[in-house]
Structure 1
Amino acid sequence: MKRRNFIKNAALTSAGLAIGNSLNNCADSNPKENATISANSTVEVKLPLVIATWDVKNATARAMEVLQSGGNALDAVEQGCMVEEADIKNSSVGKGGLPDRDGNVTLDACIMDKHGNCGSVVYLQNITHAVSVARKVMEDTPHVMLAGEGAKQFAISKGFQEENLLTESSKEAWEEWKIKSEYKPIINIENHDTIGMLAIDKNGDISGACTTSGLAYKMQGRVGDSPIIGSGLFVDNEIGGCVATGLGEEVVKTVGSFLVVELMRQGKSPQQACEEAISRIVNKPNSDYKNFQVGYIAVNKKGETGSYSIHQWFSMTKFQDGNNEQIQSDYYVKS
């Protein structure tokens, strides 16, 4: 089932959801070159490893294919995200993404390598593979982020082809939304979500990427957390990485992905860190958390993983040791 419809159907028996967007950063280490690392004194975690937000088995399968053929974690997360960007049935990422209020599909993406290098694009139009443009920003410019027309012209200069990203089905959904549209986001009508991915290669190095078309029917020019390093994505190669999805404005307010990684630095497990980061959101004064969704996934240097969300029905895809599986996340609101 498509994530947007899945969220919408789930909301009939749960609190309102509004799924948004994600990011990462890295550092160097001296890992052993073998396929397993000790997660603790009794458990061994096999590498390579890929995790991603939502049920995206085709994307994690592509990432694992890259890793098993000798590619590194950075190549894996880029190519894994590209699978979803090219899928016109995925209305939250790349071509086929739902547009803003004016009918324009605008993309945000970022990527981060093991050295802490990162690249980002915001409000990118007419280019399908925003994550790849973000990588070019990281590798071929002195900048971290390019926006709007500048990002598009840079992409074209690097050989990316312009194309119309508004598919007929997304256009029809937009036309239907306009009939009863409201100025503010309508939870469970303007659902949105992000593809965020983290990978650890056989050398134990971590990279991450995030890509999205953002909040459906957003105000023109709106940017969420996904392309913002430290909010939607953060990776520290000595510690681990985190990706966020959900209402990006709420993730930005707590610099969510950076927070999760720093909590892991302090000794918390990925699961504990994700839970603490969600608690920071829901326990803010006057938090309206019952009417929006945020979810985190994380991995530490040991290869341990975690996921947690405000509401039910958030999930993580995990590919490890030959198993490519969807894992339902635990969540804060139980009733």
Structure 2
Amino acid sequence: MWGMIATWRMAHDGVLAAKELLEGQASCKDAVETAIKAVEDYPFYKSVGYGGLPNERGIVEMDAAFMDGKTFKIGAVAGITDVANPISVARQLSDEKFNSFRVGQGATEYAMLAGFERKNMLTDRAKKIWEKRLAEIAASNLDPYDGHDTVGVVALDTQQQMAVGTSSSGLFMKKQGRVGDSPLSGSGFYVDSTIGGAAATGLGEDLMKGCLSYEIVRLMGEGLSPQAACDRAVYGFEERLRKRYGKAGAFSLIALDKNGAWGVATNVEFTFSVATADQEAAIYMANPGPDQTTVITPITQEWLDAYEARIKAPV
């Protein structure tokens, strides 16, 4: 058995590429890195990698993490700049016994010295969007913050090992140095090959209040299905957060267990991509349903066409 699940429609092409690796008995670690690099490299995705929207100063600061479910090795970067593929840096850092989580200039310098590709990650398109938002804020006192879609991928290979990875350019117009949940173990991601793995996307400041990725894996370890674990963790936490904090930002979680079963829960409309040995690669739509459940439906061609037009629309 092999399987893979990833956040958002934007991950689907990467899932298709990684699926071929898993079918050829490649490692889950290679599959995760391959899937996420495909998203990082695509210039029309505004929340990850090349083309990601910048912070308030016009700088693309990126966060990424990688975890090996067999050994619990973790590597992560936060606030890294001018590096083509932060997920690859995070994966290499996971082999370090010490200093495996690097931030800011230290992360960028590590990547440069290690020979990773240097790249200006601010595209002309992203710069225009940033300039437009600056003008809108000045003219109308608009809320500057928008967009916080992390690509998260959980994979299971034919050797029954698992890995998880995340990558994000974070909140558009964020303050310099802001870090979300994506590189934080237990919050943005977690995996244990004897149980399963999970990854998160959404407003990091709220996600890190709940450590939902770890909680979902813990619940799967107690015998819950991935879907039941996602529903219980996500909707239970959202209810507590609204009651005690007063509000809850958007967040969505994906999960995959050691048998290739998967689950999703979300408090907003959320798309995701899945492929397993028993299931053709496909994109689905998830929405919060009644009684703390999740409604999952296949994506429509109409939605896909509108999505493609939207992400490539003139600025």
Structure 2 unaligned spans of 5+: 292-315
Aligned partner of 1:85 among 40, 44, 57: 40
Aligned residues between the structures: 284
Alignment check: 8 A CA contact 2:65 2:182 kept: yes
What amino acid sits opposite 1:246 in the alignment?
G
Alignment check: 8 A CA contact 1:49 1:200 kept: yes
* Cα distance in 2 for residues equivalent to 1:151 and 1:141: 16
- CA deviations over 1:204-261 (Å, ceiling 9, x no partner): 1111100010111111110000000110000011111000000011110011101111
Alignment check: 8 A CA contact 1:250 1:281 kept: no
| Structure 1 match to 2:99 | 143
> Counterpart of 2:107 in 1: which secondary structure?
helix
| Structure 2 match to 1:42 | none
Alignment check: 8 A CA contact 2:41 2:85 kept: yes
What amino acid sits opposite 1:270 in the alignment?
P
Within a 5 Å distance, the mapping from 1:156-305 to structure 2 comes to 156-181=112-137, 186=143, 190-279=146-235, 280-284=237-241, 285-289=243-247, 292-305=249-262
* Residues 326 and 105 of structure 1, relative CA distance in 2, 3 Å threshold: same
TM-fit CA distance, 1:325: 0.3
Higher relative contact order (CA 8 A, sep 6+): 1
| Structure 1 match to 2:61 | 106
| Structure 1 match to 2:27 | 72
TM superposition outliers: structure 1 runs of 4+ over 3 Å? 184-187, 286-290
What amino acid sits opposite 2:17 in the alignment?
R
Q: 1:132 aligned to 2:94?
A: no
| Structure 2 match to 1:50 | 4
TM-fit CA distance, 1:138: 1.1
* Cα distance in 1 for residues equivalent to 2:38 and 2:219: 31
> Counterpart of 2:128 in 1: which secondary structure?
helix
Identify the range of structure 1 (173-182 vs 279-288) with the bigger mean alpha-carbon deviation. Answer: 279-288
Query: TM-score w.r.t. structure 1 length?
Result: 0.80
TM-fit CA distance, 1:65: 1.7
* Cα distance in 2 for residues equivalent to 1:179 and 1:286: 36
| Structure 2 match to 1:17 | none
- RMSD (Å), alpha carbons: 2.0
| Structure 1 match to 2:110 | 154
Identity percentage over the alignment?
Answer: 33
Structure 1 unaligned spans of 5+: 1-46
* Cα distance in 2 for residues equivalent to 1:308 and 1:287: 20
> Counterpart of 2:108 in 1: which secondary structure?
helix
| Structure 2 match to 1:24 | none
Query: TM-score w.r.t. structure 2 length?
Result: 0.85
